[in-house]
Structure 1
């Protein structure tokens, strides 16, 4: 039985609006090897008469939390090897049970291949990137010219390298990633267009030849149809935030 059982029980009970006792007892039964139908039929006194659907939901969330727990171990070990595991960061990792947010925490420390941003840093362009990010009204051409030396041939290359550094920093910024997710949750549009020349072949997807609607309103059957049309090469499907979103 996992040492995280009390934590898992609390998290799952909150997510599914069940009592902690019901969930923890169910987790113990699942850990002992009991199946969902068996628990539902013969262990009602332990679960508070949970049905199969509820027990299956508990099992699904339990599996996800166990996966996250294992991922945490890998992340902690990797960051610790780098000598960058501060008490604050360790606490944030411990308290995080959202897979996406956990990866956001890890991203700045995740081993990566030699990126454009890393190449730009090696050329000494990080100070230029920082000046641009500070947005203090400096003349970019003048500032970029100061970095034209060594491997940096001209100001255009200097600015391009600075942009690469800024792009990487923003993409790895936890708060920026949260904001982007919130924008997508509120405003994302799913759009489909027919691939030119596929009109006749893809007639069964004609309802989606020129289609757009908010992603949050897109029903599961429409989403499946769109993805099927895309897989068959009939539709081009994209998901993007509304253009007028600040």
Structure 2
């Protein structure tokens, strides 16, 4: 809207690309990855891969914020904002499309309240069926560790961690993931972390709220069965 002082977008791939450009055009302050609404001319964001938080002082009347998914609870009541449709003219395309791959119909990672993630402990892409089934039963998104994406076991858009997608779900279930610090940096804002790993010394257990020491191929069928039972009784 004309005259708006604050512009907010989601801190996803599109938001990270568009927000700084909009801020530059408007000569506005830009705060990426905000985790709270502006308060007294300041806004809070994560720093050092989520290990600390900082208040950023806004010294401009205009500000553009990219907000981390699931960081703010929606307000109650009906909104009163006016929605204006806009169709921009992109002009001549400057990108050559070499291949189009159909994306899965699953829940987008940044928006998911529950995420089921697999690592090298799953031993190959052919063993991903139980993870997808558990995610379907729980209404969750599927994810993976970086080594899994690098080996092309799973698509790169499912990679969570410091160099992948940073997430803040209500529950993160890590299966067969050892818990490298780079991975933890992207998931440590999860409200609850559950880990399944046959190695009792896996670093991930130190960051977990719940843990099961066991073979994923033995634990997952029982977990899926229990989840289906709870769902049928709900």
TM-score, normalised to structure 2's length? Answer: 0.21
- The higher radius of gyration belongs to 1
Q: Higher strand proportion, which one?
A: 2
- Structure ranking higher on relative contact order (CA contacts 8 Å, 6+ apart): 2
